[in-house]
Structure 1
Amino acid sequence: MAAALKRGWTPLVAALLIMSVGGAMLVGWRHYDRDYVVSVEDDGSAVTKVVAERFAGASSLKVSEMSGTIQSTAQDVRGFGVLKSDQVVKMPFSVDYFIDVSRIGADDLEWNADSRTLIVNAPDVKAAKPNVDEAGRTLVRTNGLFVTRQAGEELSRSVSAHAQRRAEQEARSPARMARAREFGRAALAKLMTAPLEAAGQGGARVIVTFPAERAGDNREQWDVTTPINEVLANRRADR
């Protein structure tokens, strides 16, 4: 019987080992692709782009952080077009997102006693200047028949400038800002927990709005403590 059990476990153990090795290989390839494989356009030329990013939230004035890897490229032409060179660099970067809580005053808070709902009319989320970690470069590829010292220095400056601009564009893109605002809603709701409890209103609903949502008469107020479909249903019921 023991032998039979042993024979039965063997395929299972083998399958688990294969899955484990396969998973490790996949993770390893993703890291290698992120840090060392050059991304190119259809014509084969390298492109400056964000090649990997990761979003994480935090409940403080710094409401969110985006981090990842950026690929930057630059070209240099000298000697009446004879001396051509280019450089591709991959390096990590990070961007912090903040809400200036000091700008939230009494006029920005609305309390509905009937529904026990606190509305916080917050200032918009702001993205800080991206931190491009040039010391953490994972790839530097320079091509050219003869790269002069001046050309190398110019390539390095251009690559850095391109990386900074691309990181700023990515950080302030509508999709990234929308995700940062969602983290901001959760962070502000958590900040309001203590004062609400101190006022004897523990468990009250918190709705956080940002300027674009309050434009004109169209004030979409998103609830961070209950699903949005529940909030909309409650609004219709209140009417």
Structure 2
Amino acid sequence: MDDPSLTSSPPPRVDTPPLHRETSLARVSMLPWGLFLLALAAAAFLAWKLWQPEDIGDPLATSLVAFEKQDKLTVFSAELAPVVSSNDSRMFGLVNAKQVAVIPARVDYTINLASVGRDRLSWNVEAQTLGVRLPPLTVSRPNLDEARAQYLRDGLWIGRDAQDKLTRDNTRLAEAQAVQQAANPVLMNLARQAAKEAISQNLSIPLQVAGYTKAKVVVTFDQ
């Protein structure tokens, strides 16, 4: 019979204190997140060093480059409808004819950007404002749409030669009248306002891309 005193007993069990075990598990679980955040910070620092702007450049040079892309800018167009009349007399005044014409015309208002140099630009550093002084607007020669013209003729007999002369005279008068209408102060003010908005928009975008995110553009015209 075996002696109970000789029976081997298992080694005593040593339990890890609960607080120590939870602390170890917390350290193990936080380790991957710590490494991830460290790698993220390092990547952000390297990206900043690579992409940080050393010098965002001269705002005037940036604006001049934007102007160089467009030699002439059409900022406004107006549709006009001159109403003119001409007369023709032949055979010592015995045969008379009259023609009234309504000839649609179009005029374009443009800015010559080729004449805008550094002397027409100014930069206010504190206000972050770019000043642009534009040359006067250029009004194009009226483009008459004689295909849509309407004619009213009066006369007992209008020959081909008389009709051609009446049409030529009305075309000349319509062009001259369209030039006068295009110079109307209301149309000129509308064209200037359109020019200011177009130039401001065309220059604001390159300035923002160059780093001047708060830049403003103030456009004026030669007096």
Q: Which has the larger radius of gyration?
A: 2
Interval of TM-score (by shorter of Structure 1 and Structure 2): 0.5 to 0.7
Which of 169, 180, 200 lines up with 2:180 in the alignment? 169
Q: Is the 8 A contact 2:100 2:152 kept in 1?
A: yes
> So what's the TM-score if we normalise by structure 1?
0.60
Q: What residue number does 2:136 align with?
A: 124
CA distance in 2, matches of 1:194, 1:100: 20
Which ranges of structure 2 fall in alignment gaps of 5 or more residues? 1-71
CA distance in 1, matches of 2:206, 2:99: 54
Q: What residue number does 2:16 align with?
A: none
% identity of equivalent residues: 34
Aligned residues: 152
Q: Is the 8 A contact 2:77 2:109 kept in 1?
A: yes
Which ranges of structure 1 fall in alignment gaps of 5 or more residues? 1-59, 213-239
CA distance in 2, matches of 1:153, 1:112: 61
The letter of the residue matching 1:117 is: T
Q: What residue number does 2:189 align with?
A: 178
How far apart are 1:95 and its partner, in Å? Answer: 0.8
Q: Deviations over 1:15-54 (max 9, x none)?
A: xxxxxxxxxxxxxxxxxxxxxxxxxxxxxxxxxxxxxxxx
Q: What residue number does 2:155 align with?
A: 144
CA distance in 2, matches of 1:68, 1:168: 10
The letter of the residue matching 2:104 is: P
Question: Which secondary structure state, in structure 2, belongs to the residue aligned with residue 194 of structure 1?
Answer: helix
How far apart are 1:210 and its partner, in Å? Answer: 0.8
How far apart are 1:70 and its partner, in Å? Answer: 2.6
CA distance in 2, matches of 1:102, 1:180: 19
Q: Deviations over 1:161-220 (max 9, x none)?
A: 1111111111123332222111111111011112211332224221111111xxxxxxxx
C-alpha RMSD of matched pairs (Å): 1.5
CA distance in 1, matches of 2:214, 2:158: 66
Q: What residue number does 1:10 align with?
A: none
1:92 and 2:104 are equivalent in the alignment: yes
CA distance in 1, matches of 2:159, 2:130: 64
Report 1 or 2 for greater relative contact order, CA contacts < 8 Å, sequence distance ≥ 6.
2
How far apart are 1:105 and its partner, in Å? Answer: 1.2
The letter of the residue matching 1:187 is: A
How far apart are 1:145 and its partner, in Å? Answer: 1.6
Question: Which secondary structure state, in structure 2, belongs to the residue aligned with residue 119 of structure 1?
Answer: strand
